[in-house]
Amino acid sequence: MNIQYAGLADVNGPLVALEGVSGVAYEEIAELHLEDGTRRLGRVVQMEGDKVILQVFEGTTGLSLDNTRTVFKGRPLEIPLSTEMLGRVFNGAGKPADGLGDVFAEKYGDINGRALNPVARNYPRNYIHTGISSIDCLMTLIRGQKLPIFSGSGLSHNKLAVQIVKQARIAEENGQDFAIVFAAMGVQNDVADYFRREFDQAGASGRVVMFLNLSNDPIIERILTPKCALTTAEYLAFEKNMHILVVMTDITSYAEALREFSSSKGEIPGRKGYPGYLYSDLAAMYERAGVIEGSSGSVTQIPILTMPNDDITHPIPDLTAYITEGQIVFDRNLDSEGVYPGLSVLLSLSRLMKDGIGEGYTRADHNDVANQLFAAYAKVQDARSLASVIGEDELSAIDKRYIAFGTEFEQRFLNQGFDENRSMDETLELAWDLLSLLPKSELDRMNAKLIEEHYRN
């Protein structure tokens, strides 16, 4: 029989303190029983002598110093795991939120996960097809990669997330063992509705596990949301050998929750008030992606974050990009020109793509085409900045060709319909159509043979 502790010593934001406690383990879970019969969960975050500090997941509203009894559960926070979770909706703390009852657990998983031994990882190869030209060709998503989307308020990242979830496929398999774990942190009610509706309409719900933490839900639950989602993903991938794509939005809300929690704990703040351990905390989350020995599954992550004030040097995008294997960046100008998805090609990068594309994966010319598009589009920017000074008429003939290429590239290659699912061949052929707008001599990133084979005369 567990000991019950009556009353609290202190309530401060999401934290409560208990005194006279013994035999409790760090990060253990506690249950708080209120007088009205409701229960809340908390986790030990600090201990000193017989004083224990708990973070309460559902918030501390209504707690007083003498209306609760606390029971320590003697285990870390675990969630029930099962393949039945596919098609279900949960709240941020992993409780069913679709009224369909509890999940019958095949096993319980500690949501904190554990650090993977780097030796046990397999290097990620092979890609996930998203049907979006810019991503598939220029920033290819590799199985086991973590590739975030950097967006800003009001840009179409939610739309893009939905399109990726709807269209994402694995090249050779028929999509049987491919599933998506979707974690929403601090999203508005109508956005959450939008996701649910779109997934339903596309008939994708059956292969999606959703964790929803709304913007008015408690912040501690928000801190748990990605952990629950990733625990589920790891279970499905590494024990059930499925390929899992985890889409998490919005990491900025997560980091803000972490800051709120840290400041209520009275910790010394680092940059912009975020806790000094923000890097370690984000890393513990993002590193839960990959391919491991002894399992044919994989966990791929697409975290989505909104850059405060579109500032890519803000600590959240900055630290994220230092951990993740590349980034996909939205461009507000392109977005307002009506280009969807308006991605900034030059700022975007997929670090793992070079080993997961080309012969045997996508197409032999893929790497060269991507490099050439990057290089050519970089020159478009130079030509445009020159044109803004001296006027387009004064440009040299070659610069004018680049300007024309740039416009076509944005309108035809980047821009695509919300329901348009382009195959890899379509994308690469389109790329060759565009590259052929430039003279052959400008294609300096590829060899003559390739140019002969594909250049449109």
Q: Is 305 in the site for other proteins (CB under 8 A)?
A: no
Could you give the C-alpha distances from 86 to 54, 162, 165, 185, 444, in angstroms and in order?
32, 17, 14, 19, 48
Interface with other proteins by CB under 8 A: which range of 94-102, 164-172, 243-251, 437-445? 437-445
In angstroms, give the least distance from the CB of 26 to other proteins. Answer: 5
Cβ neighbours of residue 188 under 8 Å, at least 6 residues apart?
Answer: 214, 215
Interface with other proteins by CB under 8 A: which range of 101-109, 128-136, 163-171, 313-321? 313-321
Q: Is 114 in the site for other proteins (CB under 8 A)?
A: yes
Q: Is 283 in the site for other proteins (CB under 8 A)?
A: yes
Q: Shortest CA distance to 42 belongs to which of 67, 11, 66? A: 11
Q: Is 258 in the site for other proteins (CB under 8 A)?
A: no
In angstroms, give the least distance from the CB of 344 to other proteins. Answer: 10
Q: Is 124 in the site for other proteins (CB under 8 A)?
A: yes
Site residues for other proteins, window 56-85 (CB under 8 A)?
A: 76
- Residue 231 belongs to what H/E stretch? helix 219-234
Q: Is 117 in the site for other proteins (CB under 8 A)?
A: yes
DSSP E strands in 231-297: the ranges are 243-249, 291-292
Interface with other proteins by CB under 8 A: which range of 47-55, 248-256, 410-418, 419-427? 47-55
Q: Which of 17, 46, 264, 364 binds other proteins (CB under 8 A)?
A: 46
Residue 184 or 305 having the CB closest to other proteins: 305
Residue 181 or 319 having the CB closest to other proteins: 319
Binding track, positions 84-103, relative to other proteins; x by CB under 8 A: --------------------
Q: Which residues pair with 248 in a beta bridge?
A: 183, 303
In angstroms, give the least distance from the CB of 242 to other proteins. Answer: 17
Q: Is 17 in the site for other proteins (CB under 8 A)?
A: no
Could you give the C-alpha distances from 144 to 131, 243, 286, 297, 312, in angstroms and in order?
18, 9, 11, 9, 24
Whether the Cβ atoms of residue 87 and residue 207 lie closer than 8 Å to each other: yes
Give phi and psi for 66, each to the nearest 5.
Answer: -130, 15
In angstroms, give the least distance from the CB of 84 to other proteins. Answer: 25
Residue 240 or 445 having the CB closest to other proteins: 445
The terminus-to-terminus CA distance of the chain in angstroms comes to: 82
Q: Is 321 in the site for other proteins (CB under 8 A)?
A: yes
Give the residue carrying structure tokens 């383990």.
Answer: 25
Give phi and psi for 396, each to the nearest 5.
Answer: -70, 165
Q: Is 108 in the site for other proteins (CB under 8 A)?
A: no
Residue 290 or 341 having the CB closest to other proteins: 290
Q: Is 194 in the site for other proteins (CB under 8 A)?
A: no
In angstroms, give the least distance from the CB of 386 to other proteins. Answer: 6
Q: Which of 9, 202, 292, 437 binds other proteins (CB under 8 A)?
A: 292
In angstroms, give the least distance from the CB of 16 to other proteins. Answer: 17
Q: Shortest CA distance to 247 belongs to which of 323, 318, 299, 306? A: 299
Residue 265 or 412 having the CB closest to other proteins: 265
Could you give the C-alpha distances from 90 to 93, 210, 255, 434, in angstroms and in order?
8, 6, 21, 45
Q: Is 364 in the site for other proteins (CB under 8 A)?
A: no
Total number of residues binding other proteins (CB under 8 A)? 78
Residue 253 or 327 having the CB closest to other proteins: 327
Query: Could you tell me the sign of the dihedral formed by the alpha carbons of 284, 287, 289, 294, in that order?
Result: negative
In angstroms, give the least distance from the CB of 398 to other proteins. Answer: 11
Q: Which of 11, 71, 116, 202 binds other proteins (CB under 8 A)?
A: 116
Q: Whole-angstrom Cα distance, residue 449 to residue 305?
A: 42
- Residue 372 belongs to what H/E stretch? helix 366-390
Q: Which of 78, 84, 239, 267 binds other proteins (CB under 8 A)?
A: 267
- Residue 406 belongs to what H/E stretch? helix 397-408
Whether the Cβ atoms of residue 316 and residue 307 lie closer than 8 Å to each other: yes
